Amino acid sequence: MDSQPAKADGPDLWHGETDASEELFERHTVVVDKGQESVRIDKFLIQRLTNLSRNRLQQAIAAQMVLVNGKPVKSNYKIRPGDSIILFSVTAPETYEVKPEQIPLHIVYEDEAILVLNKEAGRVVHPGHGNYSGTLVNGIAWHLQQQHPELTEDSLPRYGLVHRIDKNTSGLLVVAKTDAAAVDLAGQFFDHTVYRRYIALVWGEPEADSGTVKGHIGRHHRFRKVMDVYPEGDFGKDAITHYTVLERLRYVSLIECRLETGRTHQIRVHMQHTGHPLFNDEVYGGDRIVKGTVFTRYRQFVENCFTLCPRHALHARSLGFLHPVSRQEVRFDSPLPEDITSLIEKWRTYVKYRPNDGE
């Protein structure tokens, strides 16, 4: 598939716009051959994993994200034949310096190992090019320093984020407060055992009440700042999204999405691929009338809806996982924010009293 996206000048993926629950770690598994000489593990991995920088490898080792036979090791560990090595590496670009800032956090749950937040729409998750301050991570850094004044900017946890959501997506996000918790949660995301549910308002009405969208997701061949679906799987990373229609509103539908994978812009890209882009998604074609005509009264109504919810209508509603310390299953839910609930009510009223205006 090589269709042109709605807007070729969409935001850079690393400038604050990332996937709805994009996973930030990849897991590499290496078994040492029988004839392998005994060398330091950092030297061995740099030679075996050519796409991994030395800096990132050292950070991963320091954060106990390199395991040998299930246990973390140091850089000077010398490998042995038969060793099973697991390494979690960050998939995002190098982390920018984080300056603690007093930013309000909507904390849903917190203990010594994890922090679960309800992110508001419009907040970038972490610093990047063009977004050096005012991010959620800046606020988390300040929050942790209040709990532990001895923490310096250099000693703040570097691997706290194990997933992230779009700047303009609202909802739940879990942050690891320790390296051990980060390793555990990263493994759960990688194994697709994390419970994730999203609520979205999309254009049109899917034919089936439920379905599954499969298709590798990668950067668009022509427009490098957006993503595209490649059904044949010869490019990009595998991605699976399950959806269920919760309510049909003639011109739009309220759906629930369940992710098996966490790829960049996954829900947004997959729903556009099905012909049902997210309502008011300016990058993937949802910021124009997709269902209905340009009848004057209807067009004005849609424009009012865009004003009421000036971002793509997507909310990370539920998040569940095994607690990295207690090993008990925990689950958190976040109510729909006011802009999306108001948008839904506006559409309900419209289709009830003016069902044919958009025909």
Closest to 92 measured CA to CA, from 14, 159, 165: 14
d(CA 105, CA 121): 13
Name, in order, each residue with C-beta under 8 angstroms of 320's C-beta and a sequence gap of 6 or more. Answer: 194, 195, 196, 329, 330, 331, 332
Q: Tokens at residue 103, please?
A: 């930013």
Closest to 13 measured CA to CA, from 258, 268, 208: 268
Q: Tokens at residue 43, please?
A: 């030297």
d(CA 165, CA 223): 22
C-alpha count within 13 angstroms, C-beta hemisphere, residue 196: 29
Reduce the DSSP state of residue 57 to 3 states and report it: helix
For residue 160, which amino acid is it? G
d(CA 338, CA 313): 11
Catalytic positions are 166
- Backbone Cα Rg of the chain: 22
Q: Tokens at residue 62, please?
A: 């320091």
d(CA 165, CA 174): 11
**What are the Cα distances from residue 119, in Å, to 108, 116, 167, 210?**
10, 10, 9, 28
Name, in order, each residue with C-beta under 8 angstroms of 349's C-beta and a sequence gap of 6 or more. Answer: none
**3-state per-residue secondary structure call for 106-147:** CEEEECCCEEEEEECCCCCCCCECCECCCCHHHHHHHHHHHH
d(CA 124, CA 350): 33
Q: Tokens at residue 71, please?
A: 């246990």
